[in-house]
């Protein structure tokens, strides 16, 4: 069942790569929060194809008018972000991803993140590790890094629609982090940031508020690669409502948490 998901995601990525005139195809969902016709098209494709694989699963997607997240704790759910990093996608920035997660009664059992611009696809099944899959289906296991905070490349996110509410808090934390780490990066796609954390490219990543479809798949990539993911206060992440995200290799995570920077 899970073996077919990467192939479906690669096909969905072709829709993104073929996109033209994206800025003319967008509309606002809220302040500085946008959706394009391509987000909707990719999600419809994924729901159709994945729905045939998992006909009994509840489909949860970012562009759905009704997201029955209250069912996550009692049902098998497909948690889909068709284009994570929509602002990047609109501007042709080349850092956007397809994210697909499967949860059973609130526990992540499968997650995959695909970057169609580079062809990088990472997937994980609970209890079986995280793997980088090439276009021919070849598998390479990946693992988080072992760098400490002083040598860390740290990722962070700042959703544009919380400029007033959480923006200042975010950048104050980033400055403190910047002074302690080797350097900081903001990619604009939480799914890709978590993928890079799982691969040991980023050593830690945080964002103060994300929705479940932003991090569901990526959370399993991190933990199955030997990493840690919680909310910024150390409590477990939630799949039925938005929360903060703090992920990293165990060493850098512990040092950052103990430093009280976040």
Per-residue pLDDT reduced to its tens digit, 103-160? 999 999 999 999 999 999 999 999 999 999 998 889 999 999 999 999 999 999 997 6
Are the C-beta atoms of residues 100 and 112 closer than 8 Å to each other? yes
Q: What is the DSSP letter of 167?
A: I
Q: What is the DSSP letter of 206?
A: E
Are the C-beta atoms of residues 67 and 59 closer than 8 Å to each other? no
Q: How far apart are CA 230 and CA 123, in angstroms?
A: 20
Q: How far apart are CA 143 and CA 223, in angstroms?
A: 9
Q: How far apart are CA 38 and CA 244, in angstroms?
A: 27
Cα-based distances in Å from 144 to 40, 187, 192, 211, 222: 33, 18, 14, 23, 7
The structure tokens listed for 157 are 């996110």
Q: How far apart are CA 189 and CA 179, in angstroms?
A: 23
Are the C-beta atoms of residues 248 and 208 closer than 8 Å to each other? no
Closest CA to 39 of 52, 28, 31: 28
Architecture of domain 2-141: 2-Layer Sandwich (3.30)
> Where are the domain boundaries for CATH 3.30.540.10 in the chain?
2-141
| CATH number, domain 149-259, options 1.10.10.60, 3.40.190.80, 3.60.15.10, 3.40.50.1110 | 3.40.190.80
The structure tokens listed for 133 are 């899959």
Per-residue pLDDT reduced to its tens digit, 24-80? 665 555 454 567 889 999 999 999 999 999 999 999 987 665 556 778 999 999 999
The predicted pLDDT at position 188 comes to: 96
> Where are the domain boundaries for CATH 3.40.190.80 in the chain?
149-259
**Dihedral over Cα of 56, 36, 42, 216: its sign:** negative
């Amino acid at each position: 069942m899970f073996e077919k998901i990467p192939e479906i995601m690669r096909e969905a990525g072709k829709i993104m790569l073929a996109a033209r005139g994206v800025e003319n195809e967008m509309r606002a969902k809220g302040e500085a929060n946008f959706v394009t016709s391509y987000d909707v098209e990719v999600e419809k494709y994924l729901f159709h194809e994945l729905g045939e694989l998992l006909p009994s699963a509840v489909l949860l997607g970012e562009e759905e008018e009704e997201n029955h997240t209250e069912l996550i704790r009692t049902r098998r759910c497909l948690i889909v972000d068709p284009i994570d990093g929509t602002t990047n996608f609109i501007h042709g920035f080349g850092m956007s991803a397809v994210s697909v997660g499967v949860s059973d009664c609130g526990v992540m059992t499968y997650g995959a993140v695909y970057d169609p611009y580079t062809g990088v696809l990472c997937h994980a099944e609970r209890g079986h590790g995280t793997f980088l899959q090439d276009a021919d289906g070849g598998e390479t296991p990946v693992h988080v890094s072992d760098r400490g905070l002083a040598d860390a490349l740290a990722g962070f996110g700042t959703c544009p629609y919380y400029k007033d509410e959480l923006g200042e808090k975010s950048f104050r934390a980033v400055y403190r982090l910047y002074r302690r780490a080797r350097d900081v990066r903001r990619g604009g796609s939480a799914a890709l940031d978590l993928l890079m954390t799982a691969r040991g490219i980023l050593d830690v990543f945080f964002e103060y508020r994300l929705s479940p479809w932003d991090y569901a798949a990526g959370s399993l990539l991190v933990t199955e690669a030997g990493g840690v993911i919680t909310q910024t206060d150390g409590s477990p992440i939630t799949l039925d409502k938005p929360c903060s995200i703090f992920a990293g290799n165990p060493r850098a995570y512990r040092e950052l948490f103990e430093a009280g920077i976040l």
